Amino acid sequence: MDNRKKLVVCDENVLGYINLRDESTVWIFRALFTKGALWSMSDEAPVSRYKSIRLATEADFDYFRVSSVGFFNTPEFIHA
């Protein structure tokens, strides 16, 4: 079973990850409601909710103001 996670940006207003064991859910690190994010009261959302999903970069973590420590130096996380 693959325990890795994809670090993703959804609709350019949500930063989170998708667990490869269950690719139907995005687990949310940060949502920018000022940019149109709708899932304000939950830490998860269905993948089908988003029109676009791409792999996140370290610059995305800076943009969303989330620490990238531990995400980009381990094989557990897939990123751009």
Q: What DSSP state is assigned to residue 72?
A: S
So what's the pLDDT on residue 39? 62
Alpha-carbon distance of 58 to 45, in angstroms, equals 22
Alpha-carbon distance of 53 to 17, in angstroms, equals 10
Backbone φ/ψ region at 36: left (φ over 0), alpha (ψ -120 to 50), beta: left
The pTM (predicted TM-score) of the whole model is 0.91
So what's the pLDDT on residue 2? 84
So what's the pLDDT on residue 47? 94
Report pLDDT digits (tens) over 17-70. Answer: 999 999 999 999 999 988 988 766 678 899 999 999 999 999 999 999 999 999
So what's the pLDDT on residue 41? 61
